[in-house]
Amino acid sequence: MSAMVKTDICVIGAGSGGLSVAAGAVQMGADVVLVEKGAMGGDCLNTGCVPSKALLAAAERAQSMRTSRIFGVADAKPEIDRAGVNRHVHGVIAAIAPNDSVGRFEELGVRVIRAKGEFVDDKTLRAGDTTIRAKYFVVATGSSPFVPPIPGLQGVDYFTNENIFANKGPIGHLIIIGGGPIGMEMAQAHRRLGAKVTVIEVARLLPKDDPELTKVVIQRLTDEGITFHEGVRDLRFEKTTQGIAACCETDDGKHCIHASHLMIATGRRANVHGLNLEKAGVDYAPQGIKVDARLRSSNKRVFAIGDVAGPYQFTHMAAYQAGIVIRNMLFKLPAKVDYSAVPWVSYTDPELAQVGMSEADAERAGMKVRILRWSFAENDRAQAEHRTEGLVKVVTGRGGRILGAAIVGLHAGELIQPWVLAISQHLKIGAMAGMIAPYPTLAEVNKRIAGSYFTATLFGGRVRHMVRFLLRF
């Protein structure tokens, strides 16, 4: 027998965005129903951000054992226990899972329905045996790995991010298709954990980042023994007695790489199918639900956030968008998204982080900008850590306004955050130059590059003449 539920807000999807909306709205007094057919916590907790960073942490420990001699500590060959690494990864997931659990959200007052949701009409959703009529709906169904139609792929076994973290066995040689952040992170993690790794990319490695900075990451991964093939054509797969073979062509000629395992990391597609969005009057495309600046779909009762809404498929963007829709739904404020200060990080070692406008963006826009650069080699803490590879690159506009920043180096994901604040608050470079940075820290690179903006003026002839004149008195 089906039940009818009436509510203020129905959230579809219990990933980071959906959970943020549900928790925030119910604590502000709204009646909330949360519908989720899969695991609570979504991709980020179970098959994405959390397990990948846990795996990278294990890989970093192994690598540190191999590279200690420079500190006067004997190098050692790590013994990799793949089952133990798997326990570590899933232990981290288990430690975080209670925050996203059904029990926690029910304690907050959210009604959680574990079933597939699909629209019946523009005001109604059916989830299992329950029919839900809501004033507002929030679609937060996330995304899934995009698997391209590569010849021969259907005949071989392969990993995606959805199943690679379940692997407990040894990996001899891993081929990764896709040189974006996921592919590069997994390449370095598995290489450091003892596998031979080959990355195949049809375009450019780390294509969304500044090429000047990506060179630093690619060089480091190459030095660690990872093989790269860029600009690949005519890719196809074959099953072999040892595993698989990936055959392709590049400007260097034809290649046939034999390996034990394969991973597909060629991007993600929004989860829009199976929701009956047509019945709700919601326009969508394979890239996701079409929304306005207030994150409303063509049906103004239906909002969409996170990966299913784009254009940035980041966990932190889903949380940001959750705040936008809460202000629209609960407080009737015409809050709009602002994507001018969206940071993103590739968690390779060294990390690669960016926010705002790049040098290429400025060139395409025909803007007159000034580009600043500062090397980690000029930072005393980086010297102490023997991690001097990397640099900071900042784009400034008229009057020294900060338009964008990119960092490659140790802890770049942490170091980018002051630049996110500066861009979001429309600050000028003088604000960063004027702050006091504790010594010795990596964060001094931010102050030093900001100070370099004024070097020519402060130490130029005009100032020297002025100082000499004033010292006469």
Q: 245-261 burial, b if ≥16 CB within 10 A, otherwise e?
A: bbbbeeeeeebeeebbb
Same fold, 3-40+101-145+269-331 and 153-266: yes
Region 160-165 average pLDDT: 97
Beta-bridge partner residues of 149: none
Region 199-208 average pLDDT: 96
The CATH class of 343-458 is alpha beta
Q: Which pLDDT score, from 0 to 100, does residue 468 have? A: 83
Average pLDDT, the chain: 96
Architecture field, domain 153-266: 3-Layer(bba) Sandwich (3.50)
- Structure-block tokens of residue 406: 């990119």
How does DSSP assign 361-410, residue by residue? HHHHHT---EEEEEEGGG-HHHHHTT----EEEEEE-GGGBEEEEEEEET
Q: Which pLDDT score, from 0 to 100, does residue 450 have? A: 97
Question: What topology is assigned to 3-40+101-145+269-331 in CATH?
Answer: FAD/NAD(P)-binding domain (3.50.50)
The reply to whether omega before 350 is within 30° of 0 (cis) is yes
- Tens-digit pLDDT profile for residues 320-368: 999 999 999 999 999 999 999 999 999 999 999 999 999 999 999 999 9
Beta-bridge partner residues of 405: 355, 394
Of 33, 156, 164, 56, which is closest to residue 102 (Cα–Cα)? 33
CA quadruple 216, 147, 287, 352: dihedral, nearest 10 = -10
111-113 and 32-35 beta bridge pairing: parallel
Q: Which residue, chain included where needed, has tokens 């290489």? A: 191
Q: Which pLDDT score, from 0 to 100, does residue 466 have? A: 85
Under the banding of pLDDT at 50, 70 and 90, the label for residue 1 is low
Q: Is the dihedral of CA 418, 420, 424, 428 positive or negative?
A: positive
**What are the domain boundaries of the chain?**
3-40+101-145+269-331, 153-266, 343-458
pLDDT over 80 at 127, yes or no:
yes
Rounded to two decimals, what is the model's pTM? 0.95
CB 175 within 8 A of CB 245: no
Beta strands in 141-252 (DSSP E): 143-145, 173-177, 196-200, 227-229, 233-239, 244-250
